[in-house]
Amino acid sequence: MATPKVTLKLLINKMERKVVFAEANKDFVDFLFYILSLPVGSIVKLLENKTTTTGCLGDLYQSIEALSETYMQPNQDKNSVLNPKFPKSLTEIPLLLPDNNSYESKPLKFFTCSRIESTFSGYSRHLYLADNPFSSCPICRQTMSSEMTFVSQVASTSTAAAVATKRGFVKDMVTYMVMDNLEVMPMSTISCIAWLNKFNVGDLGSLEEKVVNFGLDEGLKLLKASMECKNVLTSVFLGNKGA
């Protein structure tokens, strides 16, 4: 299956070899919002060379990878940190990064007290739940070792269809300006002029328009560059990190 791509229109200052801003649609802006929702563990995992691109976080990540599961709490596993999953409300966007929900997580398990008491109306149990089978019941102090498995409710087809129409974070049918440092704003003639003045672009002949594709490779480069510099679009598309 082909990697999804979106199109960006860059306005480039040829004299300085720098991106002034990009004209983008919903898909690209949703991607930028998604980056901010990523847990640190996912960012480290996505960057291939962990030890040089993420500092000591790469070392921490690798040490947790090597740690035996025997040191984990009964209802926890390392993947919840190394490869965390997200609610569907966050992931229902045209993601360009690899699927972070691919690993098999442990099913949620809860434990309750197995003691049953007789009452005037019949029988009752102590209705307390714990995520550790060695917890003590607050009423009888008996170990809460009777296992209960959490069952996730599957959304109906009509509900899923309604959610699908509101995918992502920002509204469609709007053109956005994304600055070199990834600032985002709705695009307008006034905002374009304001930014050209801010960068002292007096000679419009020094500007050129360039249409580029943005896919998985560019997404990973952008993620890495966003942690290293402020002229991210210039770094990704022109190979010039500058200051």
* Tens-digit pLDDT profile for residues 161-214: 554 456 778 888 889 999 999 999 999 888 888 878 877 777 777 899 999 999
Same domain, 199 and 84: yes
Bridge partner list, 214: 6
Residue 94 within a domain = yes
Same domain, 116 and 31: no
Same domain, 141 and 208: no
Does the structure show a pLDDT above 90 at 151?
A: no
Same domain, 135 and 85: no
Domain count across the chain: 2
Same domain, 88 and 198: yes
Same domain, 125 and 14: no
Does the structure show a pLDDT above 90 at 8?
A: yes
Element holding 21 (H helix, E strand): strand 18-24
Same domain, 119 and 99: no
Same domain, 138 and 220: no
CB neighbour list of residue 104: distance below 8 Å, 6 or more residues apart: none
Does the structure show a pLDDT above 60 at 102?
A: no
Q: What is residue 226's three-state secondary structure?
A: helix
Name the residue among 24, 19, 12 with its Cα closest to residue 208.
12
Does the structure show a pLDDT above 90 at 243?
A: no
Same domain, 123 and 204: no
Does the structure show a pLDDT above 70 at 231?
A: yes
The pTM for the full model equals: 0.67
pLDDT of residue 103: 47
Residue 117 within a domain = yes
Same domain, 80 and 144: no
Same domain, 17 and 65: yes
Residue 164 within a domain = no
Q: Which domain holds residue 133?
A: 109-149
